[in-house]
Amino acid sequence: MTTTWARSRAAAAGVVVGLVLLAVGALLGRPDVAVLGAAPLVAGVRDWHRRPSTGPVVRLEASDVQPAAGTLRADVVVESPSGVLVGVRRGARSLARAWVVVDGTRRLPLVVRTVRTGPQELAFVEAQGVGPGAASVSEPSPGVSRSALVLPAPRPLGDLPLPPRLRGLTGAHESRRPGEGGGLRDVHPFSPGDRLRRIDWRVTARRAPDLHELYVRREHALAEAVVVLVVDSRDDVGPDPMTWRGSVPARAEEPTSLDLARQAAASAAQGFLDLGDRVGLDDLGAVRRPLPPGGGRRQLDRIRHALALTRPEGDPLRRLRPPQLPSGALVMLFSTFLDDEAAHVASVWRRAGHRVVAVDVLPTLRERQLGERERLAMRLIRMAREDRLADLADLDVELVTWRDSPQVALASLARRAQRRAGASR
């Protein structure tokens, strides 16, 4: 591809200085001054004639190296017959600018650290060729960019709350039904269907020394929990309230409420799936088919991928009724609770008998730079939000704030349900 090359300012200044020195040396009869001017003049003309005929080409390709959590990786491929000045920026922020020696093709690793999740632009790369001796520069090459899908990285959680009723014939939790695998339920006289290995000979010897009756130990059955994670994707607000109207973008180095919701939901999904429970996912801000409850490592991958694709889609839709849930499921709702929609569906689910855990994902706000009117508006918003959360607490909806040690609050809710194994509250 033929590209227009222009003489650089440094080379043009060198040629001008060389001509001036030659003229001064000739007029004054000073050969030493003329020789000083000949060197930059000859070098400038020689380097200008050696300028390349083609410009640089830059590409962004996927990297073969697996990126670590919170990082994005790609390879910057530069094709040029000479050196290249490469610039990398992300959004309005310049990340790097480097001089690269290229003779043909060169591949440069690009690593970008981010606290954001979901679909986003990895970087925007542009290049400008520099000829031999920096005597010429090419037109900037067309910039290239590459989008990436950043999956939320789950964080480890401790004990997690359980739904009021457990389901299934296997699992990691003790239920109220008789079966095998759980703790001692009672000691009962032997009846048809009991296994011989269940006979408790100590109790039998104490109660029936003549062995006219045998006693067996009965246990609680193990069961699994069904958990539905509901993410409210209608709000994606940052710590700065001045960015909420959308005219000013939030800082790229600060996670938004939707980033926190994705991380919180992924962490809860990993915690329940590690226990052998079944976890599903639904989006309160979009009318689409939910991800049904399932178990295993592949289910966690599906949930993380679906969470990464969750984003605000146009004007928020008002649902005529809350999403349908499996019977006896535990509901974890991740929202900012800046309006009544999330609180309304949480109250409907609680009245239907589900155990509902409301996870507040509003980031810590910065209000010092706000004006008087903005402070008043934030005060009204905060008062309405606190009233909303208080109404949920009155309905026995359990509240967890993700920005303030969520593992401690979740462990407290888990201990609250251990009063009676598998019992409804």
pLDDT at residue 253 is higher than 50? yes
pLDDT value of residue 265: 95
Q: Look at residue 324 in the predicted model and tell me its pLDDT.
A: 80
The residue among 287 and 282 whose pLDDT is bigger is 282
Tens-digit pLDDT profile for residues 152-209: 989 999 888 888 776 655 555 554 555 555 556 666 687 787 777 777 777 777 777 7
- Condensed to tens digits (0 to 9), the pLDDT of residues 306-332 reads 999 998 876 666 666 777 888 888 999
Cβ atoms within 10 A of the Cβ of 300, count?
19
Position 40 pLDDT exceeds 50 = yes
Judged against a pLDDT cut of 60, whether residue 216 lies above it is answered with yes
**Which of 56, 64, 118 is closest to 87 using CA atoms?**
56
> Contact 185/164 with Cβ under 8 angstroms?
no
Choose from 67-71, 278-282, 368-372 the range with maximum mean pLDDT.
Answer: 278-282
241 has a pLDDT exceeding 80? yes
- Among 9-18, 71-80, 95-104, the minimum mean pLDDT is found in 9-18
In the predicted structure, residue 407 carries a pLDDT above the cut 80 = yes
Instruction: Average the pLDDT over each of 141-150, 199-208, 292-301 and give the range with the smallest value.
Output: 199-208
Q: Give the burial class of 422: count Cβ atoms within 10 A of its Cβ; 0-12 exposed, 13-18 middle, 19 or more buried.
A: buried
pLDDT digits (tens, 9 = 90+) for 348-363: 999 988 999 999 999 9
CA distances in angstroms from 325 to 43, 245, 298, listed in the order given: 78, 33, 22
User: Whole-prediction pTM value?
Assistant: 0.75
Residue 421 pLDDT greater than 50, yes or no: no
Categorize the per-residue pLDDT at 260 as very low, low, confident or very high, splitting at 50, 70 and 90.
very high
Most confident of 28-32, 48-52, 256-260: 256-260
> Does residue 67 have a pLDDT over 70?
yes
Tokens of 136: 């010429």
170-174, 250-254, 299-303: the lowest-pLDDT one: 170-174
Between CA 271 and CA 276 the distance in angstroms is: 9
* Per-residue pLDDT, 91: 72
User: Contacts by 341-349 with C-beta closer than 8 Å and gap 24+?
Assistant: 341/232, 341/234, 341/284, 341/316, 342/232, 342/284, 343/388, 343/389, 343/391, 343/392, 345/230, 345/284, 345/319, 346/392, 346/395, 346/397, 347/391, 347/392, 347/395, 347/397, 348/321, 348/322, 349/322, 349/325
**Parallel/antiparallel/unpaired status of strands 93-100 and 136-138:** unpaired
157: helix, coil or strand? Answer: coil
pLDDT score for 419: 46
pLDDT at 30 over 50: yes
pLDDT of residue 127: 86
